[in-house]
Structure 1
């Protein structure tokens, strides 16, 4: 059942890459089906991808906060599956805070993200997160609230 739900989540994510409105609808549906007591990893993944599909930076920040809240829901054990998301979640929070003009909040999230980097392997994913931290940091130093182009 959990594998089927993750398949549904990733199908909605793929849908969103070609049609953001359809992806938002599908992910919102899954979010509502999961509910507050749903699987923390599934809730985290749904919220994480909903953040990316939002039309405004303020809405993206709300979904980034929900993704992190899913990881730290009361009674949720912080296993390796959830722990591996922390650098990415804090990176996204930093970028969202920066884009809404909360530079102090962004710096704090970057610091927390860097504190979790040891969990990442020295692979392509780990490098993507590390370079993302550097790009957000550079945008902060420049005082930019603009979206950072994907590399």
Structure 2
């Protein structure tokens, strides 16, 4: 997921720093920092913060059920923001566009979680939702990577269902 930082957004800066730790291979320190930030913002924090943090926190988990729980929190946060934007059509929330671009990746991650848990029906539902949401992402590096990921997940799911 591509992170989009609002100028002066201290929380997003801190989340970005933890993401850099994660990408550098320090999962434990990233998980610790995400945990501290989550304890500060919680379930009622800004949707973009919750979505971004939960999306990356999922990647720091060792337990598949914990990874799934964080990916579900990310989706819930994104859906809450999308819902707010739908209510406020005349003046959409400033983060609505950024979160809409997250949906394909969020559903792709959930499809992967469910596939690892061998819950093929749930994996299919989220893979289909990832395909449906992929139309909102650009043809840039992020959009291409998401679409490639969806195609690879499609193949993995087919092989798993076939018992290969």
TM-score of the superposed pair, with normalisation by structure 2: 0.82
Q: CA deviation at 1:16?
A: 2.4
Among 39, 53, 61, the residue aligned to 1:54: 61
Which residue number corresponds to residue 127 of structure 2?
A: 110
Q: Deviations over 1:72-119 (max 9, x none)?
A: 238633621211111110111111111111111001101011111110
Q: CA RMSD in A?
A: 1.7
Q: Which has the larger radius of gyration?
A: 2
Q: CA deviation at 1:13?
A: 1.3
Q: CA deviation at 1:2?
A: 5.5
Which residue number corresponds to residue 9 of structure 2?
A: 3
Which residue number corresponds to residue 116 of structure 2?
A: 99
Which residue number corresponds to residue 137 of structure 2?
A: 120
TM-score of the superposed pair, with normalisation by structure 1: 0.89
- Looking at structure 2, the residues matched to 58 and 135 of structure 1 have their Cα atoms a distance apart, in angstroms, of 22
Q: CA deviation at 1:59?
A: 1.4
Q: Structure 2: which 5+ runs fail to align? A: 1-6, 87-95
- Count of aligned positions: 144
- Looking at structure 1, the residues matched to 42 and 66 of structure 2 have their Cα atoms a distance apart, in angstroms, of 19
Which residue number corresponds to residue 91 of structure 2?
A: none
The DSSP-based 3-state class of the residue aligned with 1:53 is coil
Matches within 5 A, 1:2-151: 3-17=9-23, 18-73=25-80, 76-77=84-85, 79-143=96-160
- Looking at structure 1, the residues matched to 28 and 130 of structure 2 have their Cα atoms a distance apart, in angstroms, of 30
